[in-house]
Structure 1
Amino acid sequence: MKNLVSMKDLSVEQIMAILKQAQLFQEGASSQLEQNYTMANMFFEPSTRTKMSFEMAERKLNLNVLPFEAGFSSTLKGETLYDTVKVLESIGIDALVIRHEQNNYFESLIGKVKPAIINGGDGTGNHPTQSLLDIYTIWQEFGTLENIVISIVGDIGHSRVARSNADALTRLGAKVHFVCPPKWQGEFEANNDFDEVIDASDVIMMLRVQHERHDGVSTFSKAEYHNAFGLTEEREKRMKDNAIIMHPGPFNRDVEIASELIECDRSRIFKQMENGVYIRMAIIEMILKGRE
């Protein structure tokens, strides 16, 4: 694996290898990288979880991390993403994590630049590292993905998380259902009634309402959305005894999920964030070792 821009880049065998390596890192294993590598994290959209967990992963792998601030870069002067990456290539960067508002931004880079490209999220397209940490969290919980019923609920049409998970979870044998308002389902087949899926789900994965992608048009009030498509305390009581709650974050309290449920016993939301560090360590090591 030379780059990771989409879950479609990974076979089932590669996904499982990443999960197992993440588990080893979580158990205290050391990095097996033999060279001294330098990385940079290029985030052109706001991020807390992805950006900071990548930086933590890089530091745990004893990599050199070169700071990059999009708001102070020459992209503000009109420099293209390709030219910026070529600059970083010229000064010796080995790998880049890139988040960009443009879907498929990586098409201008793959095969044309030397640094490895890891997609930290592209527009409404892909978010492979989030998908992998989600898969790892479910695998930790149930020991398998086979026949696990996963309901992904919320702003489906605008969600790169939904797109990445739809492909990967299905290939791993999970049964994936989507729930959202009709106007937000995009290309997905979706159920428009949350209450129909609660009782049968092993995993309820809530998604953030992406107000910034709705062009300022509000379809629901916060209360209306919470009542119709939010994980309320009443809905949580109907979940299976061993079912878990997930959310990629950031979460809007009392919109897609009741504030009281964010840290309840079922919640794996902060566990997902913890797991993100180990998954990203595994991804980085796999990519860099493939270049040794």
Structure 2
Amino acid sequence: MTMPPKARALIVHALLVAAALLVLIPVVWVVAAGFRTQISLLSGAFWFTPVLKNFNEVLFSKTSDFLVNYRNSLVVGTLSTLICLLAATLAAWSLNRMSWPRWFVHVFLGWALVFHMFPPLALASAWFTIMRTVGLDNTLTAVVLAHTVLNLPMALWLMGVFVRDVPVELEEAARLDGATTPVLLWRIVLPIIAPGLAATAILTFVFSWNDFGVALTLTMKQTATVPVAIAKFAQDYEILYTQMAAAAALSILPALVLLIIGQRYIVAGLTQGAVK
């Protein structure tokens, strides 16, 4: 028996609501924990009086460097994302439009995919040694370079899909009108792949923002990023659960703002080319 359309729609919506709750409930719990006292949280009390003490401690305490760590994450995420977009867009256009042998393109993309599967921590110790040798240890430059290398394969694969969908006829017409390669890329290609650029930028920034292992290896107190700063609330003899929750709640904001602003670009970019 075929299921009535209304029943099918009801089941689909129920599954979607259940999936959304599975994602949202832990986030809501963490945010709520940031407004609780340590005693209220550890006692498991359901009702509590919200307090702002934890956020004040995280943001304005003389012993807290969280604002510095926040700035570090913004700088690292922004710079690594820009470098990834530039390199991935140029590489994707070159692989799809220039006369490279097909075997070279397949080998190059295959190696990028294999490299993306490497555990970041497997590379972190080697990067630490290299950065210390060249004098970049404990600097944001080292973290920017590491995050660029980590996220570039993903950006390359995404941008390859978007560049491949640009009509070749438009580029040929621009060439006939005398457009040089920089003008062609700026005036023709980039406006068409703008949704793909936005989707790739947001995903790359979020991956950089959430990285912990590499940032922990390459940074110290003044160059630490937000995930490293959150982990420091777990001290040797005490775990500051509520302050950790407050810091985690604050760490969600940049990615949340980006996702809200760029939601339509993400959907358009990730579905581009799926339907002709």
Q: Same fold (TM over 0.5)?
A: no
Counting strand residues as a fraction of each chain, which structure ranks higher? 1
The structure with the largest alpha-carbon Rg is 2
Structure with higher RCO (Cα < 8 A, 6+ apart): 2
Q: TM-score range by the shorter chain?
A: under 0.3
